[in-house]
A and B are shown apart, each in its own frame.
Chain A
Amino acid sequence: MMLNQFLLLAAALFCIGVYGVLTRRNGVLVLMSIELILNAVNINLVAFGAFQDNVLGDVFAVFVIAVAAAEVGVGLAMVLLMYRNRKSIDFTEVDMMKG
């Protein structure tokens, strides 16, 4: 198999994830799009690992999966808190930090 077919697939997934982060208003859906981006990166890591014939790509992919799990936990807790305080999870309405 070619290296490029995996990298191009990852690039496509990454761009779809970016589109989702930019256009979605629902906080949970923004977090899902971030997961898409992280998975695209993981495909790249594993593909390069297979290409170089070592396991460093796999090791880093496992680390990325662990960090992604932590990120989702904290992210969803924050979305939940936001819902409790404002009865909405629309990210376009978040302006507490605005100067």
Chain B
Amino acid sequence: MAGLLAFAQETIVPLVRDDFNVAQNIAFAIIAGLMIFCALKMVTTANVVHAALYLVIVLAGVAAIFILLGSDFVGATQILVYIGAIIVLFLFGIMLTRARLGDDETVDEEKRTMGAAVGVLLLVVMSFALIDTFENTKIEFADPNEVRFEGPRDVKVSELPTPVVKALALEGENQATITSADFAGLEPSVQRRVPGAEVYGNNKAIADSIFAQYIVPFEAVSVLLLAALIGAVVVARKE
């Protein structure tokens, strides 16, 4: 009991403390509760079409979680690929196989008990490992409007915006070099106006990463998709 109280104090109290993303945590609680409820309904409902519709809610919840984590690109991809394409594929699969709508499942009790036991055991082990390892580790979100600058950079003073010239005290000079140290000392509003500075968002970083460092896996995925496309046609076509 005392341990439970201490756990609640350590984990739940920080969640409701007012300087700690209250809005995001409330949104997370609503989304997570809905997702788990719908996931449970999905694996237990007897109606196959209802299961597909519950899956839509879970997938939309996953997209919302991605957006909550600041990964809007992955969230948009999730909605487009999963809700737009995969669910439609599932619904076609359900309709083409005419899986007795309404009363699909008559799972025997023993199998259900064993499945539940495995699931609960897995959850207990994983939860214990996670709570033991990460305890109260917080996610510190980076500023999405952070301005980056690759210095040093040679500039003509006459082409600089006035606030930058004033802030760097370059009046009267012709040619100047802006170093990273100079840039770091500027006000954020002035930083944006320095030539070569850019707001380095998440999406840009993802694009840089995929098309530079991970170009080979990217091409491999395109070949994989082509192979899957041809494979699906070959497997499913009539003789």
A-to-B contact residues, CB < 8 Å: 1-9, 11-20, 22-29, 31-33, 35-36, 39, 42-43, 46-47, 49-51, 53-59, 61-63, 65-74, 76-81, 83, 89
Contact = CB atoms under 8 A, between A and B. Distances in A.
Contacts of B81: 65-66, 68-69
A69 B114 CA distance: 30
Contact of B74 (A7, A13, A62): A62
Given A8-B131, A55-B209, 14 more contacts: A4-B134, A5-B28, A19-B119, A46-B66, A51-B139, A58-B71, A58-B73, A61-B74, A62-B77, A68-B81, A69-B225, A80-B96, A80-B236, A89-B99
A76 B90 contact: yes
Contact of A59 (B66, B82, B214, B233): B214
Given A2-B15, A49-B71, A70-B225, A65 B82 contact: yes
B164 interface: no
A49 to B, nearest CB: 7
Contacts of A25: 105, 107
26 contacts: A1-B20, A1-B25, A2-B137, A4-B136, A9-B32, A15-B120, A15-B122, A16-B40, A18-B122, A19-B118, A23-B111, A27-B97, A29-B104, A32-B42, A32-B52, A36-B43, A46-B66, A50-B71, A62-B206, A62-B210, A65-B81, A70-B225, A76-B92, A77-B232, A80-B96, A83-B98
B205 interface: yes
A42 B66 CA distance: 9
B178 interface: no
B126 interface: yes
Interface residues of B, number: 90
Interface in B124-139: 126-127, 130-131, 134-139
Contacts of B90: 28, 31-32, 72, 76
Interface SS majority for chain B = helix
A14 B197 CA distance: 43
Interface SS majority for chain A = helix
A54 B20 CA distance: 22
B235 interface: yes
Contacts of B123: 11-12, 15
Contacts of B35: 9, 13
A31 B87 CA distance: 11
A88 to B, nearest CB: 9
Contact of B134 (A7, A58, A80): A7
